[in-house]
Structure 1
Amino acid sequence: MSKPSVFLDLDQWVRLESTDSTNQYLSESSSPSGTIVTARQQLKGKGRSGRAWRSSPGAALYFSGILEWPEQPPGPFFSLACGLAVLDAVRMHCPDSTGLLLKWPNDIIRRSVHAGQSNNGTSATNQEHIEKIGGILIEGRAVSAGVWQTIVGIGLNWSEAPAAEGGDAF
């Protein structure tokens, strides 16, 4: 697999107060490879299969990046590599990142175990709780003969409001 032509430059960091979708913004722009777009709010964020990603201003981290690949697009493990990179970054910078896992193909979840209670107040079986706290959406297209673009969108919820259908806070 060939390497992407990506060199991040802060001149290519687009900061938006609000947008329909950071992925859509990059898809409709002529931004060069390596451009990063962040937004305080997404009005029409989406996940896989077009599922809605609800967004409140400042309630989550929404960003997308665009990469160009000569010859061929990345293979199926690119999604896994992106997810592991997000997990590493969150674990490095967030003190309360215990229980974070990657759920194939694109969900960041937190698994926690809580002591259950029986009806009479004594200890019972532990209960597992899984909450979705983020997602990764990868979209690709051919832009010319032998040149592919991949847009990687990442949403991480850090507030109390659910981030996605069935999601919870980080």
Structure 2
Amino acid sequence: MDYVAETGSTNADLLARLAANELVPEGFWLVTDRQGAGRGRQGRNWIDAPGNFMGSTVVRLQDRDPRPATLSFVAALAVYETVLPFLANPASLMLKWPNDVLLEGAKFCGLLLEAERGHVVIGIGVNLAAAPTVTDRKVRSLSDSGPAPARDAFAEALAAQFAVELQRWREYGAEPITNRWKAAAHRPGTPLQVHDAGGTQLSGKYDGLTEDGALRLRLPDGTTHIVHAGDVMLEES
């Protein structure tokens, strides 16, 4: 694990190394104190804060690996399992498709997966000490629910848990991973609002996942719409 004081984006740094044919071993993590150009899904900025976790790791894809898209569930479960011991109420933690981890219904973690030369770079940001002000969604930090772990200790625990989840993914396939993800996620029938990759806005109910990890959205007319990429919000009940 390599710690740096400041960089633009840990994901961008690792992608650049891979693009330059630099050997970045699987299991390596780049962690930073500050990120000037952090990125989230769909081009959003990821806003950092002192004491929060910001880091990226690399998975070297192998011929017999499950579908790379299912690594999003591997990363989400790694965060989920790492955070659980710090919560007095484990039920306050929930997973949301495609790769969000929610604390008391609010976003406190960001995941970004990007491919480069047979690798997947996985960036993870976790609000440990503080949550930024975001106008369009609820956000929290782990410190809002109790004492937050030190950043470096959290980084080591997350790296160890990610290695465990990655090994399970390789050894047993994606199905056990997605089954565990579904057990910790919103229940079937949960109302969702989806902005898909094509810009279409849809409302429906969560109807599970496809074999390759896409979202099944049951529309009001009873038909099922498959969402492979998009922004998903839990509708207020």
**Aligned pair in 2 of structure 1 residues 74, 41: CA closer, same or farther (>3 Å)?**
farther
Is the CA contact (8 Å cut-off) linking 1:22 and 1:63 kept in structure 2? yes
AA aligned to 1:151 is: V
- Alignment pair present for 1:138 and 2:113: yes
C-alpha separation in 1, matches of 2:124 and 2:134: 12
What residue number does 2:182 align with? none
Q: Choose between structure 1 and 2: higher strand proportion.
A: 1
**Runs ≥4 residues deviating over 4 A:** none
Deviations 1:9-64 (A, max 9, x none): xxxx1111111111111111222332111111111111111101111232x10111
Q: Choose between structure 1 and 2: higher helix proportion.
A: 2
AA aligned to 1:69 is: L
C-alpha separation in 2, matches of 1:74 and 1:51: 28
Alignment of 1:1-150 (within 5 A): 13-29=1-17, 30=22, 31-58=24-51, 60-71=52-63, 74-75=66-67, 76-92=69-85, 94-96=86-88, 98=90, 99-111=92-104, 130-141=105-116, 143=117, 148-150=118-120
Is the CA contact (8 Å cut-off) linking 2:47 and 2:132 kept in structure 1? yes
AA aligned to 1:24 is: A
Q: Secondary structure at the match of 2:45?
A: coil
Q: Which has the higher contact order (CA 8 A, sep 6+)?
A: 1
Unaligned runs of 5+ in 1: 1-12, 112-129
- Give the TM-score of the pair, scaled to structure 2: 0.51
Unaligned runs of 5+ in 2: 143-237
AA aligned to 1:86 is: V
- RMSD across aligned positions (CA): 2.1
C-alpha separation in 2, matches of 1:153 and 1:49: 14
Aligned residues: 133
Percent identical among aligned pairs is 30
What residue number does 2:226 align with? none
What residue number does 2:191 align with? none
- Give the TM-score of the pair, scaled to structure 1: 0.70
**Aligned pair in 2 of structure 1 residues 83, 155: CA closer, same or farther (>3 Å)?**
same
C-alpha separation in 1, matches of 2:71 and 2:58: 14
Shift of 1:74: 4.6
What residue number does 1:162 align with? 132
Is the CA contact (8 Å cut-off) linking 2:56 and 2:122 kept in structure 1? yes
C-alpha separation in 2, matches of 1:84 and 1:164: 24
**Aligned pair in 2 of structure 1 residues 132, 33: CA closer, same or farther (>3 Å)?**
same
